[in-house]
Structure formats: C-alpha cells, structure tokens
Amino acid sequence: LAKTTQPISMDSYEGQEVNITCSHNNIATNDYITWYQQFPSQGPRFIIQGYKTKVTNEVASLFIPADRKSSTLSLPRVSLSDTAVYYCLVGDLAGSGGYQKVTFGTGTKLQVIP
C-alpha cells in the first residue's frame, strides 16, 4: 500500500480556494487516489477519486500530474462548513486479484476562518 504524506493542518479564509497536496512517491500502476472528508463525531465521507489528469465534481477538483507521485485536492471558495479533516488514500480495493488493507493516516485538518 502506497504511503502518503500530507500537511497536518491548514488555515484558510472564507471564500478562498484551498489546495491540499498529497505526496505518494511509490504509487503503483493500478492505484487510484481517493480523498475523504470527515467532520467531528461523524464517519468519513468520500468526496472524490481519480487515476490521472483532472477530475471534477460538485464538491471538489482533483489534480494528478503525469507522474502520479502527488495529487492536489482543490476546494473552491471554501465556507465555514468546509472545516474538517481531509484524508488522502492511495490504492485499489479491487486490484491485484485480492484485497488491500486501508490506511487512512491522520489527514489534514482544514480550519476555515471567517
């Protein structure tokens, strides 16, 4: 399972775009990059996933360079309700004909300031 490195915490003002970068130097060919959001006292929520280039949905964008050794989660115009912990995961549950254990790590704690 590819090890990931992301900042422990970030602060941002309301209305700004926030970019959280995750490093995953030993990503494997079949691995996907998945991001979760977790609010206090709740379970994590899947927000976006990608394999290469750019993925966008109604919540966020995910930028993946050609070498796939890092990825950037972009949250447009954050609000106070985006204050949460964001986790980056790399791997593939369905890959390799078997199963991979999931490691969430400690994530990035984003604090949005009024």
| Residue in this structure with the two tokens 């970068």, named with its chain if needed | 21
Q: Which is nearer to another protein, 47 or 75 (CB)?
A: 47
In the complex, the smallest distance separating the C-beta of residue 108 from another protein, rounded to whole angstroms, is 11
In the complex, the smallest distance separating the C-beta of residue 107 from another protein, rounded to whole angstroms, is 7
The region of 19-27, 59-67, 73-81, 105-113 touching another protein under the rule CB under 8 A is 105-113
On whether the CB atoms of residues 38 and 47 are closer than 8 A, the answer is no
The residue ranges that bind another protein (CB under 8 A) are 32-34, 41-46, 49, 51, 87, 89, 91-95, 99, 101-107
